[in-house]
Amino acid sequence: MNSFKKVVIFALIAVFLPGMVFAGGAQADQGKTVNLVYPNWEEGVAWTHFLAAVLEDEMGYTVNLTAADVGPGFASVAAGDQDFFMEAWLPNLHTIYTEGTDIEEIAKIYSDGVVGLIVPLYMAEDGVTALSDLARPEVVEKLGGQLTGIDAGAGMMIQTEENLIPAYGLDEAGLTLVASSGPAMMAALDAAYNNQEYFVGMGWQPHSMFGRYDLVILEQDGEQIFDLDDIFIMGRPGVAEDLPEVVAFFQNVYWVNETIGPLMVAIGDSNLSTLEAARQWKNENEDIWRGWLPN
């Protein structure tokens, strides 16, 4: 090989090799990054931050967390902008967001999630125990004509607005569903409860509301609107091939009330940030998650 050819070859190596190494490094970094989107509901906030702490501390990933309303959250995963949606209630509440998409079902992490309209126990003791009781004029008056909701795109909100209210004649009775958010609804519940005022809100388990307050889920004494759902982590198309270790981890995750309940309370009562409170609880409860790590 003459000297000119050697100079050309070395020049090409000098130009392209760093780029090749950089590209490989970028792919490696990208492979160790996980993007999680979650709705602003207490249980989903808790386990998303908890799982993020495990991914970062024990598995070496960088985790990006994004809170979003349900519809945009699902859409971002379907479009591939986020890797995982962390709280899908199926087959009932959230099917409208998964049908016709390529979103992948990754793991069932909770069984038999319960949803319904909730009232404080003192209302049940006054005789408000079923959905049909809400249409009574004296109940409508004490409620100020309002049912307190969460974020507008939530499956419970859609079911209540489109099916429950007309089925039970609550619109004709003068009741209106008012959208807010999970935290805003809880603040309204707390204020009403402390003053022994009438209140109807959205209730579901798992949630720490049932540990903090004496609540009753109203009976569906007419048309059956709400059914039990399981809760899943969903993934973007192709995520199982791109992030197999994370998928394997999520497939080992499983929550029951006895584990998610204390985590929610620990985060809610902590002065730390949500992630650091979840991390602290993780460090104190290794027996819960150690077996979830993939081999």
Q: Is residue 20 part of a domain?
A: no
Domain harbouring 140, CATH code: 3.40.190.100
- Between the alpha carbon of residue 132 and those of residues 5, 36, 42, 82, the distances in Å are 89, 40, 28, 41
Q: What percent of the chain has pLDDT over 90?
A: 85
Question: Which pTM does this prediction carry?
Answer: 0.80
pLDDT attached to residue 11: 38
Question: Where does a domain end: 217, 246, 275?
Answer: 217
Structural domain including 269 reads 32-111+229-292
- Are both 194 and 50 inside the same structural domain? no
Query: Closest Cα to residue 53, out of 269, 249, 268, 240?
Result: 249
Domain harbouring 285, CATH code: 3.40.190.10
Question: Where does a domain end: 172, 191, 217?
Answer: 217
Question: How many domains, the chain?
Answer: 2
Q: Is residue 251 part of a domain?
A: yes
Q: Is residue 240 part of a domain?
A: yes
- Are both 261 and 198 inside the same structural domain? no
Q: Is residue 22 part of a domain?
A: no
Indicate if the pLDDT at residue 23 is higher than 60.
Answer: no
Residue 102 · residue 237 · CB < 8 Å? yes
51-61 average pLDDT score: 98
- Are both 213 and 247 inside the same structural domain? no
Handedness of CA 234, 74, 46, 83 (dihedral sign): positive
d(CA 129, CA 115): 15
Q: Is residue 88 part of a domain?
A: yes
- Are both 97 and 122 inside the same structural domain? no
Could you give phi then psi for residue 76, rounded to 5 degrees? -65, -35
- Are both 97 and 242 inside the same structural domain? yes
- Are both 278 and 193 inside the same structural domain? no
- What would the pLDDT profile of 93-130 be if each residue is shown by its tens digit? 999 999 999 999 999 999 999 999 999 999 999 999 99
Q: Which of 23-32, 84-93, 262-271 has the lowest mean pLDDT?
A: 23-32
Q: Is residue 13 part of a domain?
A: no
- Are both 63 and 128 inside the same structural domain? no
- Are both 236 and 285 inside the same structural domain? yes
- Are both 123 and 91 inside the same structural domain? no
- Are both 70 and 162 inside the same structural domain? no
- Are both 67 and 148 inside the same structural domain? no
| pLDDT, greater one: 29 or 201 | 201
Q: What percent of the chain has pLDDT over 70?
A: 89
Question: Where does a domain end: 173, 191, 217?
Answer: 217
- Are both 81 and 166 inside the same structural domain? no
Q: Is residue 224 part of a domain?
A: no
Q: Is residue 5 part of a domain?
A: no
d(CA 223, CA 234): 30
d(CA 142, CA 183): 23
